[in-house]
C-alpha cells in the first residue's frame, strides 16, 4: 500500500517518519534481468549466495522502469565494505564521506554501498554535521528501511531484490514515476541543508527525465540556493559538468537560472544577466550550450575547457576594458591580465583543473592572434594543437558580434578548405596590408652621430 505523501509533514528536527513499504512483485513490473549488465548480476548473485541482502538501487531501477538504459548499475547491501572486499578480489574501497566498494571488471565498475543508517543516532558516532546542518561525514550503517529514508528523491528510493525479483518501493516512487514528478524525501529545507547539492540534482533529474519538480520540493530552492557557496569548489566542478555536459545543458542552464542556482556557480557570468536575456554573454551561453548538446547527440567529443572559454569570454572582455582605462595597458596586456582575474574568480567557486585553464587561455590567445594572417602566420597558426577549438570559438563570436569578426571567421573557413596554391594566394593578398592597414617599413635613423668630445 502506498504512503499518502500529502499527509507526510515531518518536522525539521525529525527529518523522517516511518515510510510505507510497497512491494511490487515480478508480475507487476517490467524489469527483466536481460536489461541488467552481466557484471552487475554477478555481484548481486555472489552477495546473495553468501547470505547477504543484495539490491539494485537508485537511478538504475528508475531508468529500467522508464524503459531507458541505465548509465550505471549501483548496488546496496547489508554487507560491510570489509565483507564485500573479502568476497571480491577485484574490489577497491573508496570514499571518506561514505565508504564505498568498487568492483572492477576492466573498465566497467559496479559500485556497492552498505545500507546507510540515521546520522542522528549518537550510538553510531561516525557521522558529523556542520553547524548549518550539512553532512560532513556519513559512515553510518543501518537497515534497508533506514537506507531508503536517507535517499534523496522518491524515484530513487526503489530497490530491485535479486532474491525474488520484486521491487521494494519505500516512498511512493513508482507512483511519482507515473505522475512524472521529482519529489524530495523528507522535509525539503532540512534535506537541502544536509546537502545543498540536492538542489542541483532536483534540476538535473527534472530536465533529464522531462519531469516536473513537486511544489514543496521546489519552493525553498531559490531562497536556499546561496548554501551552494559552502560546497567545496572541486565538488561543484564535477556537478557543473553533470549539469551542463550531459546532453541537456541549454535547458538545464535556463532552469538553474530560474531557481537562482546558476548564479551561485558562475557569479562572474551572472553579473552580465539581463531581463531580456540578450546580452552578448547570454547569447554566447545559449550558443555554446546548444552546440555542446548537439555534439553529445552526434556522439562527438566535448571538452569542458571550450565551454568555459566561451562562457567567460565577454566577462573577460569587460575586465580587459576596465584595465585599459585604469592602468593604460595595451589591448594584449589587458587581456592577459584580465584572464588571470577572471579565471581566479571562477576557480574559487568551481575548481576548474589546471589542464583546462591552460587550454582556456590558449583559446583566448588565439582570438588575438587569428586576425594576424599575413606572411607565414596563417600557416603556422593552423599547425597549432588548439587551432580548431580557437576557430570554432571565432565562428561563435562571429554569430554574435557580426561585422569584422564574422568576416574573419569566413576567411579562416575558406583558408582551411583551400588547396596549397589558393592558401598562398590568400596570404599574399594580405602581405600588402597588416591588420587591414598599409605596412610601414621601419625607418632607419640616418642622422649623423654627434662627434665625441675630444679630451
Q: Where are the alpha helices (DSSP H) in 246-353?
A: 249-258, 262-265, 267-270, 280-297, 304-311, 313-327, 331-349
SS3 of residue 411 by DSSP: helix
Distances (CA, A) of 417 to 219, 422, 425: 53, 9, 14
Active site residues: 72, 74, 152
Whether the CA torsion 278, 283, 286, 289 is positive or negative: it is: negative
List, as own/partner pairs, every contact residues 258-261 make where C-beta atoms lie below 8 angstroms and the sequence separation is at least 24, other chains included. 259/199, 259/203, 259/218, 259/221, 259/222, 259/225, 260/221, 260/222, 260/225, 261/199, 261/200, 261/203, 261/221, 261/225, 261/228
- Pick from 155, 226, 190, 171: which is nearest to 18 by CA? 171
Residue with cell 531507458: 68
Q: CA 338, CA 329: separation in Å to the nearest integer?
A: 11
Q: CA 65, CA 30: separation in Å to the nearest integer?
A: 6
Asked if 132 contacts 92 with a C-beta cutoff of 8 angstroms, the reply is: no
Amino acid at each position: 500500500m502506498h504512503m499518502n505523501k500529502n499527509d507526510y509533514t515531518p518536522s525539521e528536527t525529525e527529518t523522517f517518519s516511518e515510510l510505507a513499504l510497497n512491494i511490487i512483485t515480478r508480475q507487476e513490473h517490467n524489469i527483466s534481468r536481460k536489461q541488467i549488465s552481466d557484471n552487475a548480476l554477478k555481484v548481486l548473485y555472489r552477495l546473495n549466495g553468501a547470505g547477504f541482502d543484495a539490491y539494485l538501487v537508485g537511478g538504475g531501477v528508475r531508468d529500467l522502469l522508464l524503459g531507458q538504459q541505465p548509465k550505471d548499475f549501483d548496488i546496496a547491501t547489508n554487507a560491510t565494505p570489509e565483507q564485500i572486499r573479502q568476497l571480491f578480489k577485484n574490489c577497491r574501497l573508496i570514499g571518506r564521506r561514505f565508504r564505498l566498494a568498487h568492483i572492477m571488471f576492466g573498465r566497467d565498475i559496479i559500485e556497492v554501498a552498505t545500507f546507510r543508517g540515521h546520522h542522528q543516532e549518537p550510538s553510531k558516532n561516525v557521522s558529523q554535521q556542520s553547524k548549518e546542518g550539512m553532512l560532513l561525514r556519513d559512515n553510518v550503517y543501518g537497515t534497508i528501511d533506514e537506507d531508503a529514508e536517507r535517499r534523496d528523491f522518491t524515484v530513487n528510493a526503489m530497490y530491485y531484490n535479486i532474491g525474488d525479483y520484486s521491487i521494494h518501493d519505500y516512498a511512493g516512487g513508482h507512483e511519482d514515476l507515473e505522475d512524472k514528478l521529482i519529489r524530495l524525501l523528507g522535509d525539503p529545507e532540512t534535506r537541502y541543508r544536509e546537502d545543498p547539492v540536492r538542489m542541483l540534482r532536483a534540476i538535473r533529474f527534472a530536465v533529464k527525465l522531462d519531469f516536473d519538480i513537486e511544489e514543496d520540493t521546489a519552493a525553498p530552492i531559490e531562497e536556499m540556493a546561496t548554501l551552494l557557496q559552502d560546497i567545496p569548489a572541486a565538488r561543484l566542478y564535477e556537478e557543473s559538468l553533470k549539469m551542463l555536459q550531459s546532453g541537456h545543458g541549454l535547458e538545464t542552464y535556463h532552469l538553474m537560472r530560474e531557481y537562482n542556482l546558476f548564479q551561485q556557480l558562475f557569479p562572474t557570468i551572472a553579473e552580465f544577466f539581463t531581463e531580456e536575456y540578450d546580452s552578448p554573454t547570454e547569447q554566447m551561453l545559449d550558443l555554446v550550450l546548444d552546440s555542446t548538446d548537439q555534439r553529445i547527440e552526434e556522439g562527438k567529443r566535448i571538452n569542458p575547457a571550450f565551454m568555459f572559454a566561451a562562457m567567460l569570454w565577454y566577462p573577460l572582455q569587460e575586465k580587459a576594458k576596465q584595465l585599459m582605462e585604469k592602468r593604460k595597458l595595451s589591448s594584449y596586456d589587458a587581456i592577459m591580465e584580465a584572464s588571470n582575474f577572471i579565471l581566479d574568480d571562477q576557480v574559487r567557486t568551481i575548481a576548474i583543473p589546471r589542464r583546462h585553464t591552460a587550454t582556456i587561455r590558449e583559446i583566448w590567445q588565439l582570438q588575438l592572434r587569428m586576425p594576424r594572417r599575413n606572411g607565414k602566420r596563417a600557416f603556422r597558426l593552423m599547425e597549432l594543437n588548439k587551432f580548431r577549438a580557437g576557430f570554432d570559438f571565432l565562428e561563435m563570436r562571429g554569430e554574435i558580434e557580426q561585422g569584422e569578426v564574422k568576416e574573419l571567421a569566413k576567411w579562416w573557413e575558406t583558408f582551411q578548405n583551400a588547396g596549397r596554391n589558393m592558401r598562398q594566394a590568400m596570404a599574399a593578398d594580405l602581405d600588402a596590408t597588416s591588420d587591414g592597414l598599409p605596412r610601414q617599413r621601419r625607418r632607419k635613423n640616418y642622422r649623423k652621430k654627434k662627434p665625441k668630445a675630444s679630451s
